[in-house]
Amino acid sequence: MNLLKPEDQQRTKGDDGYYNKVLGEGFSCNSTYKMLYGSVSMIMKASGVGGCVTALVTMSENGDEIDWEMVGKDTKHGQSNYFYDRMLIYGVNGGVHELPNDGKIDTDYHNYTIDWSPDSIKWYIDNVCVRTLERADTYVNGTYRFPCHPSYVQLGIWDGSGATGTAQWSNGPIDWTKQPDKLTSTVKEVSITCNSDYNQVIN
């Protein structure tokens, strides 16, 4: 997966730091069918350049979302996150997780897994569970704010440089004057196992 260099990044200083007005063009791949509960894994080596984000995501039409994101520069960690029903509350539902065995996102291949069930979400790195979210713990004002709608599986690479807050979160903005024509994350394998109790599984 490649993130292509823009012709002119137009580096700009905002109130919270620098950002780029023009972004690199990234790759995104979406599944044809939706899944409701199951397991999604991606064996991948991510770009280590700050500002470059590589992601494995489940996304529903109503805005439920479950994420694995590998953020350049912070090469020893992966980030988990989730959203419910388009409630884009940033900095609340995320987690930062150290890779096992002193691994790095950009020099080694690692297996990132989302295990999604009706009662919990578990995030794994190399078959080690690094986070568990229980549905019971998401109850707020009479609603379980837990992803529970059929979702597409997406994977991609994107430029996090386009706004000051996002640029700082992604360890950017990317200084494209010091980068090659493209930044690359390499996917070795993607596997999806749907929960047969909630999906029509076609062999």
Whether the per-residue pLDDT at 199 is higher than 90: the answer is yes
Tell me the pLDDT tens digit for each residue of 111-150: 999 999 999 999 999 999 999 999 999 999 999 999 999 9
Number of Cβ within a 10 Å radius of residue 65 = 20
Given a contact cutoff of 8 angstroms between Cβ atoms, the answer to whether 38 and 193 are in contact is: yes
Q: How much is the pLDDT for 31?
A: 96
Question: 138 phi and psi, to 5 degrees?
Answer: -105, 10
Tell me the pLDDT tens digit for each residue of 76-90: 999 999 999 987 776
Whether the per-residue pLDDT at 166 is higher than 80: the answer is yes
Spatial CA neighbour of 40 closest among 201, 198, 192: 192
Tell me the pLDDT band of 7, cut-offs 50, 70 and 90.
Answer: very high
- The residue-averaged pLDDT of 153-169 equals 96
Spatial CA neighbour of 92 closest among 133, 38, 59: 133
Radius of gyration of the chain from its Cα atoms, rounded to whole angstroms: 17
* Confidence (pTM): 0.94
Tell me the pLDDT tens digit for each residue of 17-64: 999 999 999 999 999 999 999 999 999 999 999 999 999 999 999 999
Supply the mean pLDDT for the chain: 95
Q: In degrees to the nearest 10, what's the CA dihedral of 117, 122, 124, 128?
A: -110
Q: How much is the pLDDT for 170?
A: 97
Q: How much is the pLDDT for 74?
A: 97
User: In the CATH hierarchy, which fold is given to the domain comprising 2-194?
Assistant: Jelly Rolls (2.60.120)
User: Where exactly are the structural domains of the chain?
Assistant: 2-194
Q: How much is the pLDDT for 201?
A: 72
Q: How much is the pLDDT for 87?
A: 78
**Residues catalogued as catalytic:** 65, 69
Q: Which residues of 43-61 are buried (b: 16+ CB within 10 A; e: fewer)?
A: bbbbbbbbbbbbbbbbbbe
